[in-house]
Amino acid sequence: MSGTLNKVMLIGHLGDDVKMHYFDDGACVGRFSLATNESYTNKQTNERVTNTEWHNIVVRNKAAEICEKYLSKGDKVYIEGRIKSRKWQDDKGVERYSTEILCNEFTFLSTKSDSSGATKNEATGSEPPGDNSDLPF
């Protein structure tokens, strides 16, 4: 091991349906936004405050096709992957940056095909093991 680690684990809700892009060689990529929330109580006002963080998720090939088939806006999903930053110039020559999560594992926690909870798991499409009653979410 090289002594570094780039790993992200998120549980959140899709901000929109999966957007697919297909390439001439048969490969494809799916993209969607994922919202995670953090809540706390403001000690001065005793008011409950929720902050939402938006993440750009990228999933490829067979995994992207599975996500497109089973996920839609509002669904809850667990994502594992790594952070990837990109830099480019827009039409006006201005440098732009984006940060994405390149997904390599996922578990559907609610989907458009099953509103009762966990369904397909990871890119294999297999059922999650066990009854998941001991999961913290």
1-37 pLDDT, tens digit each: 679 999 999 999 999 999 999 999 999 999 999 999 9
Judged against a pLDDT cut of 90, whether residue 59 lies above it is answered with yes
Integer Cα distance of 107 and 128 in angstroms: 8
CA distances from 72 to 31, 32, 101, 108, 130 (A): 12, 9, 18, 11, 25
Please tell me the pTM assigned to this model: 0.75
| Mean pLDDT for the stretch of residues 93-122 | 76
Going by the DSSP 8-state scheme, the letter that residue 18 receives in this structure is P
| Token pair in block for residue 101 | 């999560």
DSSP state of 67: H
Between CA 85 and CA 56 the distance in angstroms is 11
CATH of domain 8-108: 2.40.50.140
Give strand pairing partners of 114: 111
What is the separation of C-alpha 52 from the centre of its chain, rounded to a whole number of angstroms? 14
59 - beta bridge partners? 30
Residue 45 has pLDDT above 70, yes or no: yes
Helix (H, G, I), strand (E, B) or coil at 112: coil
Structure tokens at 88: 């480019």
